[in-house]
Structure 1
Amino acid sequence: MTGNEESFISHLVELRSRLMKAALAVLIVFACLMPWAGAIYDWLAWPMMQALPQGSKMIATGVITPFLIPVKVTMLVAFIIALPWVLYQVWAFVAPGLYAHEKKLIAPLVISSSALFMAGVAFCYFFVFGVIFHFINNFAPQSISVAPDIDSYFGFVMTMFIAFGLTFEVPVVVIVLVRMGLVSVQKLKQVRPYVIVGAFVVAAIVTPPDVMSQLMLAIPLCLLYEVGLILAPIFARATRAPAESEETL
C-alpha cells in the first residue's frame, strides 16, 4: 500500500469517527428530549395557536401523525442544540489541512453562518409568524372553521425557517465571493438594483401572498446584502495570506 493510499484511508477513518461522534451527540440529545416531545411541538405551534380563535385546536388527519410530527420536531430541536458540537467535529476534521490564514477564514465563517441562520429562524418564529398567522386567520370568512393540519403546519414552518435562515446567510455569501476573488465589491454594488428586485421575487414565491410577509423577507435580505458589502473588504484584509499581504505593500 502506497503512502497516498494510507493517507486516504486514514482520512476516511477520521471522517467516519467525526460523523459518528456528531450523530451520537444528536441522538443523545434527542433521547433526552423525547419525554417532552409533545410540549416541544406545542412550543412550535404557539404562534399559530395565538392567532386561532379561543378554544380552537389543530387537527391530525393521519393515523400516526400525532406521534410522527412531534418526533420530527424533537429531532430538529436536538440537532439545533447539538449543532455546536457537530460544527466542532467538522472543524476538527478540516483544521489540520489548513494554513494559518485559511483557519482565520474558516472559523469565523462557521460561527457566523450558524449564528446568522439561527437569527433568521428566531426572527421568523418570534416576529413573522405572528403577523402572517393573524393576517390569514382574520382574512378567513366567518363560514370557515380554521383548524390547520399539524402535518401541513410542520411543512409550512420548516419552509419558512429555511427561507429566513438562508436569507440571513447573505452577508456570509457576499464575504466569501469577495474573499475568493470571484467578484469585486464594486461589481456587487453595481448589481444592487437587480438584487433588490430578486429579493422581492424570492419573497413573493416563498411567503404567503400578503404584502406584509413579503416585505418582512425582502427588506432584511436587502439590508443584509448591504451589511455584506460593508464587511467583505474588512474580512478580506484580515484573512490575507502572508504572500498576499506582501504584494499589497
Structure 2
Amino acid sequence: MSEPRQQQADDQAQPLVSHLMELRNRLLRCVLAIVVVFLGLFYFANDIYYFVSEPLRTLLPEGTSMIATEVASPFLTPFKLTLVTSIVVAMPIILYQLWGFIAPGLYQSERQFAIPLLLSTIVLFYAGLAFAYYVVFPLVFGFFSGVGPEGISYTPDIARFLDITLKLFFAFGIAFEIPIATLLLIWAGITTPQALAEKRPYIVVGCFIVGMLLTPPDIISQALLAIPMWALFEIGVFFGRFIGSKQFAASKS
C-alpha cells in the first residue's frame, strides 16, 4: 500500500517541480533582459538624467542650477535612474515572460481576452509615464519653483529630485492601469459594472485619497493624479458593460 501512495506523491510533485523550474528560468530571462538593457544604457546615464530633469531645469531661476549634496550623488543618482529606466524599457519582455508562464493554464477563450489585455497593459503603462513627464512635471515643478520665500535660492538636490520623480512616474504608471484592473474584476465575476457604478462616490473619494498619498503635498499634483484615475475608472466600467453582456450571452447559449 505504501508504494502506490509514494508513486502518487511523486507524480504530484513532478508537475510542481517543473513549474518552479519554468518560473525560475523565466525570472532569469527577465533579469537578463534588464541587465542587457542596463549595459546598453549605462554609457548614456548622464544624458538620461539630463532628459528627465529638463522639466525642472527649464524652470530654475536664471543663474541657478541643481546641486549634489552628497559625495556619491553625481554617480549614484544617474546610476539609479538608468537601472529604473532599464526595467521600464524591458517591461514588454517581462510581461511576455509572465504571459508565457500563465498562458498554458488558460482556455482558448481566456487567451483571446488576455492577449489584447496584455498589450493594453503595456501601452497604458507607458502612457502614464508620458502623461507624468509632459503634463504633470511642468505644472508640479512650476508650482514648487514659484512658491518659495523671496530671497531664497531655489537649487534642488539631484537625489531628492529623482526620488520625487520616480514616485510620480510609479504613481501615474500604476494609475493608468485602472481600466485593466476594472476589466479583470468584471471578467472574473468578482463584481459587475452596475455595482461599480453604484460605488462611484466612494471611488471618487478614494482616487483623491490615493492622489494625496502618492504625490507631493500640493493640490496640483494630487488633482492631476486623482482626476485621471477617476476618468480611467469610468472607461473601465464602460468597456466592462460589453464584457459582462458577452458573458451573459455566452451563459445563455
State the TM-score, normalized to the length of structure 2.
Answer: 0.90
Equivalent of residue 27 in structure 1, options 1, 17, 35: 35
Answer yes or no: is the 8 Å Cα contact 2:129–2:169 preserved in 1. yes
Q: Equivalent residues in 2 for 1:178-217 (5 A)?
A: 178-217=186-225
Q: Distance in 2 between matches of 1:208 and 1:79?
A: 24
Q: Which moved more, 1:229-238 or 1:75-84?
A: 229-238
3-state SS in 2 of match to 1:172: helix
- Mapping of residues 146-161 of structure 1, within 5 Å: 146-161=154-169
The answer to whether structure 1 residue 247 and structure 2 residue 247 are counterparts is: no
Deviation at 1:106, TM superposition (A): 2.5
Contact 1:174 1:228 in 2 (8 A): yes
Q: How much has 1:245 moved relative to structure 2?
A: 5.3
Structure 1 match to 2:128 = 120
Query: Structure 1: how far apart are the matches of 2:125 and 2:176?
Result: 6
Residue of structure 2 equivalent to 1:222:
230
181 and 25 in structure 1: CA distance in 2 versus 1, 3 angstrom threshold? same
State how far apart, in whole Å, the 1-side matches of 2:251 and 2:242 are: 17
Amino acid in structure 2 at the alignment position of 1:15: L
Residue by residue over 1:85-124, the C-alpha shift from the partner in whole angstroms, topping out at 9 and shown as x without a partner, is 2211111122122111221232222221222122111101
1:65-214 counterparts in 2 under 5 A? 65-214=73-222
Letter in 1 for 2:60: L
Secondary structure, aligned partner of 1:51: coil
CA deviations over 1:101-153 (Å, ceiling 9, x no partner): 22123222222122212211110111111011111111112211111111111
- 8 Å CA contact retained: 1:49, 1:56: no
Answering whether residue 201 of structure 2 is matched by residue 232 of structure 1, we say no
The alignment yields a C-alpha RMSD, in angstroms, of 1.8
Count of equivalent residues: 245
How far apart, CA to CA, are the structure 1 residues paired with 2:250 and 2:207?
A: 39
Q: Which runs of no fewer than 5 residues in structure 2 stay unpaired?
A: 1-6
Q: CA shift at 1:206, angstroms? A: 3.0
* Structure 1 residues without counterparts, runs of 5 or longer: none
Q: Percent identity?
A: 39
Hey, what's the Cα distance between the residues in 2 that align with 1:56 and 1:235? 54
Q: Conserved in 1, the CA contact under 8 Å of 2:164 and 2:216? A: no
Question: Which residue matches 2:45?
Answer: 37
Check the 8 A contact 2:192/2:244 in 1, yes or no: no
Q: CA deviation at 1:228?
A: 0.8
Provide the rounded CA distance (Å) in 2 between the counterparts of 1:237 and 1:105. 14
The amino acid of 2:93's aligned partner reads: W
